[in-house]
Structure 1
């Protein structure tokens, strides 16, 4: 009705810019905003439309709870006249929506005070409850998820406000109660790391805010027909992504647009140009290769040789790189990266794409991790990352996982740790009363703990391990058990529960003065394990686990027999990729095709690629191209790559195969019938052998 009213000139919507779309209304759940130029005629038109809506729907609008707002240049006399027509109170501001101010000026942190108050109120409602550390982590992330639904995904909040929220979360994590002054056992830098990198996964509000905005900017960039994209394009002549990556200067822009642009600017190294024809990309000024900057050989000046854009490095007639020119101009490492970049046969303009995602589409997690990498916070050995991933993915109780994390991070309230924080305590062990109580002594080297380990079903002797740090000792045992038993290892469960029982016994001695027989540790451990097994059995009985549907993989001969009556060309494709001397990959592709049991064509080729996925994609492309060049109309592709099969039915692709998939889908449009099927490696052995031969330099 509003759209029809605007079309019938009952009222006129407003424009953000002269060439922008006219906006008449916005609907948000059960709230509505109606925009129109201030005139008595427009007020009469809006009033008639709302009255008609009430008569037809039976829903009566409460005008006394509604508000009308005028622009600053509307004369007071006109305001009174139009307000009396609509019969609605006026206001100088739109107020709040979902607890946040609608009109935001990001230059002042006072505008975001309601956000801070909202978070404090949410967390304070839990202060009187005794939450474990694991429960507090879950609650903090749930509050962040709530914030991400509105304010954080729209506006860039001031860093002062973000730091205030981070401090509130850190205090709540370690205190759990407003009345107590907490001991901050670990700094925010450690807490904000992803769990796979040794942190607790509590997101940094500032980086999380920018990650949400970066994703929002890319969404607006791709959804060019959306209203917000049309408004921004009319006002600023481009999208926030192009505005930032092309280094346009921000002058007078709204705070919302500025936030989107700054979020993209801060992660611009993650955006890399996809090469189409290469005419819009400068060789050294634009980022079109992943990794290190482009390096030219000493003494060579690109401008003197007429090399300015990437198109100057391409032989346009063949749609191929000028290999001789590239090897003469650039250092070997750069030359390899250039030659491994695929040049599409179907021409299109160069454009920016997010390069840090495995599946092509940008998501908040990838951008957030990219920001952390920029800060240098994710430098960790691969084996450490594997350990943390196994710990968090195990079937242990959440509080046990947090407990192990605190031991390894030296974040437990042992006597030595308390003393380091200037808390007056006796550092002597509460068990043996001889040595200082730290993690190593309490959980392994104390005589009582040592006897507990040897008496357990694990039968661990600790005397030969005293020179090994406690964190390495725990990590080695857990990794061994996971390797031999899998993630649901019973030995891992018993190992962790033994640590937990020692800690419980120590706390009973310290806080309850219960000087029990140390054998109670083993007894308590057995009770805890038995309770865990019982709860695990209850979960297993009540959860309905749907078995995955069986997938029948047919071998090449079976596939040929099945397709014999259809005369379908079955193409086996595979790629063989191996990193050679760390930075110089060596790859080969192979393909072989049959129709009704008769071999039609086969071949292999050596290629330069940067990943196994790119190699598999080139193998599919070559097999399709060979079939298309022979005027074959119906094909079935057999590949052992799940990612390639998934990519054929997706619009989003990993960065290294975007251009290849563009050509693959263009070729597929020329077939009457095509399909791709995921099979096992042994079913495409013929193509695999051809690919390996090509990688070793033996071409058919």
Structure 2
């Protein structure tokens, strides 16, 4: 179980030395199961013991947190302070391999991990045997005396625990010598940032501070076994530091003067104007991706998948933390468009559809790619949302630097603001409209935060008194004070405010209104910002799961007449002699896909198989309408005909193979057979067309199981009361109502109630029906209760841990009543819930 294979992965091109390789440990499956379980348990406590400066591998912390914090501190590099500011960027040599086991176990003990846990970790770490994979052959079988295996699920967590020795040590150093602090003009001091082995130190640039910092690093190396690679480490001084002192800093530290912009975690830290040249490495990285792909063998479907899964992700990482110039985004999208249309290098091809039209959802006629500029705005909204959460170090730093006690929604932009803050302010108005609050202790802005459905009070009332007053000023003993409210609000508005539910025993909760659970998603932010277009019904069949992606892309082009048919090329100004590949006629769109002898033979064959006259099929598809159903073979047959007619035409034009109707028929039949064998096409997709499948010698077995079950209402046990509820919404959302009926063990009605709920959705009506029914039972002191509802969704919501922010109060009240009174909840079919259904409707 402890045997491990080491694979050497080159870190640079043309690796020649051992240090140019990264050793990755391939642990066996049995060990990784144990290690993964330990890692999952350890993850739950890391946030409590790891300092905020470390963002790597801690649940809830992101790699972007450190980049954003580094950008803010770099923006303050030239802040006027005696000694000037200084940044040290450290490169830890083979950091994982140098972890001393004794140091790790002592750190764990200091954090309070039990001896049992430490002993278990010790057995995992120290029992390893290694073999090195060289040229496909295993060499050696040896043990190690230190280090953590890269590839072991628990290694990242153990590494940041050991690295906490550095974090706690440098914090203690800065606490002992306050003069070492990096000056920012903010009362929040940051000494360092660490993401695994990427460490940056921020300190004062005086020689005394530099010497103290270097002494600390020397002591840390001696105690921990780590080693700082001075050749790859660098320092970035304030412009207030003279050339002579820069030379002295280099002599003290042994580091070289860093080149601007500083590269941290793959992101250029740019303090001034961003220029296109700063993003040249990103463009070069994408070009290197092209070199590794055989572009001539990639279909349009394959290119689309590579753009969506690989190429787009490269700039998106940067967009999370930096806003590139629009020129850079246009260049990137130009590269993507050229790749999609096979126009790479000197091989220039026609871009048949504009990139702006490609970058739409598939349902709106695009290919499901997003514009980088729109993604950038969505990610800016994410920054604002995470800033408002105040859960990260950089968010708290920005709040103290730019807001102070002023509400973030009212802060004006300063001239010396950082690029990140400027970017966030640009999208503040859009983001704030989507942020809602659920009042807990009331530490919210009374006027400017949106804790009412209608919006912030400042948008529809005149602000009276201090504009930064908090909600808790209007609460007395955890409830609204009508008297205090009416001092600043009209009576009608004050009455409306008192209807807002309070939970003073809990923290205030911020929610992202576009999502049901209130959690921020980039997709929802993108949907809020982008301009929506009209949906296209034909997209349903174009992107059918029964079609290969390449065929879907072709059909997408087909419906836009963006194919190099002779007729289309002539319309675009290309002079050529047009001739059909199977007859003497001119190659027009209609002739190629509908009227040629080959096309007529294929349409007639499948029209006969599926019992549809060929002329009816042709007329329907000439009109550009899609089949009303989805997910059937009958639906995709016309699309396959178009595809194989097109491939036959291309084979004839470029390879000299004459089109034959029977060959195309065999190709379509073979596609269906392979689809059945691979599971893409299932028996259910042949419903109604079994005879066609039999004619093509395709075996289809559709198992239809008819289960008949008696549905009736069942009496509760002696002493129990059964509550049946139902909710109804006319329009979903629309006017809704509910019904609730309680019966005893003899089936006699104890109490029944119906009511109107106003406008809402079906699920809200079902949940409100359950809540009203439970409250009815509590008022009548009916217990124990057996709850029956015909809504599986509502019962699942009650029993799950998730919660919808729109129905948060109702769900929490239902769960509280269910726990308090031991309510039994079950599902019943609508036929057995007739009484409650009658009351609701």
TM-score category by the smaller chain? 0.7 to 0.9
| Residue 592 (structure 2) pairs with residue 437 (structure 1) | no
Shift of 1:491: 3.0
**Matched-pair contact (CA < 8 Å) for 2:438–2:509:** yes
**Matched-pair contact (CA < 8 Å) for 1:647–1:653:** yes
Distance 2:720 2:424 in 1: 50
Tell me what 1:344 maps to. 501
Shift of 1:130: 2.0
Distance 2:549 2:785 in 1: 51
Tell me what 2:168 maps to. 3
Q: From the superposition, tell whether residues 230 and 427 of structure 1 become closer, same or farther in structure 2 (CA, over 3 Å).
A: same
Shift of 1:363: 0.9
**Matched-pair contact (CA < 8 Å) for 2:712–2:831:** no
Tell me what 1:575 maps to. 727
Match of 2:566 among 383, 399, 415: 415
My pick for the range that moved more, 268-277 or 184-193, is: 268-277
Tell me what 1:399 maps to. 550
Distance 1:632 1:78 in 2: 83
Shift of 1:5: 3.8
**Stretches of structure 2 lacking an aligned partner (at least 5 in a row):** 1-164, 472-478, 684-708
**Matched-pair contact (CA < 8 Å) for 2:413–2:422:** no
Distance 1:645 1:234 in 2: 45
**Matched-pair contact (CA < 8 Å) for 1:16–1:231:** no
Q: From the superposition, tell whether residues 534 and 661 of structure 1 become closer, same or farther in structure 2 (CA, over 3 Å).
A: closer
Match of 2:425 among 261, 264, 267: 261
Q: From the superposition, tell whether residues 259 and 49 of structure 1 become closer, same or farther in structure 2 (CA, over 3 Å).
A: same
Structure 2-normalised TM-score? 0.64
**Matched-pair contact (CA < 8 Å) for 1:281–1:350:** no
SS at match of 1:150: helix
My pick for the range that moved more, 172-181 or 642-651, is: 642-651
Alignment of 1:21-420 (within 5 A): 21-91=188-258, 93=260, 95-97=262-264, 99-105=266-272, 107-126=274-293, 128-147=295-314, 150-222=317-389, 224-237=390-403, 243=408, 245-246=409-410, 248-249=412-413, 251-266=415-430, 269-271=433-435, 343-344=500-501, 346=503, 353-372=511-530, 375=531, 377-380=532-535, 384=537, 387-389=538-540, 391-420=542-571
1:587-613 deviation line (CA, Å, top 9, x unaligned): 102234568778665422111123223
Distance 1:184 1:606 in 2: 57
In angstroms, what is the RMSD of aligned CA positions?
4.8
**Stretches of structure 1 lacking an aligned partner (at least 5 in a row):** 331-337, 541-552, 693-700
Distance 1:574 1:104 in 2: 60
1:235-277 deviation line (CA, Å, top 9, x unaligned): 122799x73x557445432111222332343455544676999
SS at match of 2:642: helix
Tell me what 2:70 maps to. none
Q: From the superposition, tell whether residues 616 and 453 of structure 1 become closer, same or farther in structure 2 (CA, over 3 Å).
A: same
Distance 1:261 1:568 in 2: 59
Q: From the superposition, tell whether residues 588 and 446 of structure 1 become closer, same or farther in structure 2 (CA, over 3 Å).
A: same
| Residue 650 (structure 2) pairs with residue 507 (structure 1) | yes
Distance 1:180 1:569 in 2: 78
Structure 1-normalised TM-score? 0.75
**Matched-pair contact (CA < 8 Å) for 2:501–2:809:** yes
Tell me what 2:72 maps to. none
Q: From the superposition, tell whether residues 68 and 554 of structure 1 become closer, same or farther in structure 2 (CA, over 3 Å).
A: farther
Distance 2:244 2:714 in 1: 86
1:300-356 deviation line (CA, Å, top 9, x unaligned): x988xxxx99x9xxx97999xx9xxx9xx99xxxxxxx99x9843657999874332
Shift of 1:66: 1.1
Tell me what 1:497 maps to. 640
Tell me what 1:617 maps to. 767
Tell me what 1:698 maps to. none
Tell me what 2:601 maps to. 451
SS at match of 1:96: strand
Shift of 1:125: 3.8
Q: From the superposition, tell whether residues 361 and 648 of structure 1 become closer, same or farther in structure 2 (CA, over 3 Å).
A: farther
Tell me what 2:736 maps to. 587
Distance 1:636 1:249 in 2: 58
Distance 2:744 2:314 in 1: 58
My pick for the range that moved more, 527-536 or 228-237, is: 527-536
SS at match of 1:154: coil
SS at match of 2:726: strand
SS at match of 1:26: strand
SS at match of 1:608: strand
Tell me what 2:22 maps to. none
SS at match of 1:69: strand
Which structure has the higher relative contact order (CA within 8 Å, separation 6+)? 1
Distance 1:460 1:390 in 2: 19
**Matched-pair contact (CA < 8 Å) for 1:194–1:201:** yes
How many aligned residue pairs are there?
A: 630
Distance 2:539 2:648 in 1: 27
Shift of 1:173: 0.8
Q: From the superposition, tell whether residues 467 and 129 of structure 1 become closer, same or farther in structure 2 (CA, over 3 Å).
A: closer
Q: From the superposition, tell whether residues 95 and 288 of structure 1 become closer, same or farther in structure 2 (CA, over 3 Å).
A: same
Distance 1:607 1:591 in 2: 13
